[in-house]
């Protein structure tokens, strides 16, 4: 019997059964997080929660899934598109992190662009096994997805956003390590321009990291 997972089963075989009971939370569902969501949903991750406080605006339309619905809440639009996804329209701050049980999730994805919030998340997830907390650094201003790299936060380089994130982590006293997706490609503009071939590839790479982690640690 064919269903939406038929070709996924062809690829993963028995490993496909590992995906249905995994719980993932994605912080930020814009140009990066939206494609991480799409990837993980399509492969069959059984429980996905998405967190974002924003509404879609017209400038999102060059890179974000669901952005045709201008003025609507991002997480609500995506929850309608991806049946079963749990939407939380929340600001990621100290209060949210303190009151939300992140220990229930197998994987935590940071795809937000607010450095103080990224630092709070990293500190909250400091004790998670390497590879289960994944963060995206700067994907804007770049053109070539072949420049994308994956490493631990302290080995990332060539990106001003990532450097500022590392600086703030040091100031906060963070001593751990976690996986980041980054690109050392030189920025192509001064303004916050973006190209979906790169932002989407960041999100898809995050999805790939999670899927491969699941099947290698079965």
Ordered structural domains, the chain, with CATH:
6-216 (3.40.50.720)
Contacts of 6 (CB under 8 A, 6+ apart): none
Percent of all residues in the chain with a pLDDT value above 90, rounded to a whole number: 97
Q: Vertex 33, ends 48 and 84: CA angle to 5°? A: 25
Q: What is the pLDDT of residues 30-89, one digit of tens each?
A: 999 999 999 999 999 999 999 999 999 999 999 999 999 999 999 999 999 999 999 999
Please report the pLDDT score of residue 121 as a whole number: 97
Please report the pLDDT score of residue 133 as a whole number: 98
Please report the pLDDT score of residue 218 as a whole number: 75
Phi (first) and psi of residue 197, to 5 degrees: -60, -30
Percent of all residues in the chain with a pLDDT value above 70, rounded to a whole number: 100
Please report the pLDDT score of residue 217 as a whole number: 87
Pairing between β-strand 86-88 and β-strand 107-110 as defined by DSSP bridges = unpaired
Segments of the chain scoring below 50 in pLDDT: none
């Amino acid at each position: 019997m064919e269903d939406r997972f038929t070709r996924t089963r062809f690829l993963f075989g028995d490993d496909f059964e590992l995906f249905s009971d995994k719980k993932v939370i994605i912080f930020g569902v814009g140009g990066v997080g939206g494609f991480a969501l799409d990837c993980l949903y399509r492969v069959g991750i059984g429980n996905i929660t998405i967190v974002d406080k924003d509404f879609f605006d017209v400038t999102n339309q060059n890179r974000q899934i669901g952005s045709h619905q201008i003025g609507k809440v991002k997480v609500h639009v995506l929850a309608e598109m991806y049946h079963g996804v749990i939407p939380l329209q929340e600001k990621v701050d100290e209060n949210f992190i303190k009151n939300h049980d992140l220990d229930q999730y197998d994987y935590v994805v940071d795809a937000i662009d607010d450095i103080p919030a990224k630092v709070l998340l990293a500190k909250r997830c400091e004790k998670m096994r390497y590879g289960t907390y994944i963060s995206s650094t700067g994907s804007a201003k770049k053109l070539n997805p072949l420049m994308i790299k994956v490493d631990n936060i302290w080995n990332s380089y060539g990106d001003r956003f990532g450097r500022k994130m590392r600086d703030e982590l040091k100031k906060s006293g963070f001593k751990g390590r976690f996986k980041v997706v980054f690109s050392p490609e030189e920025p192509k503009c001064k303004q916050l321009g973006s190209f979906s071939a790169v932002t989407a590839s960041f999100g898809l790479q995050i999805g790939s990291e999670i899927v491969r982690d699941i099947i290698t640690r079965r």
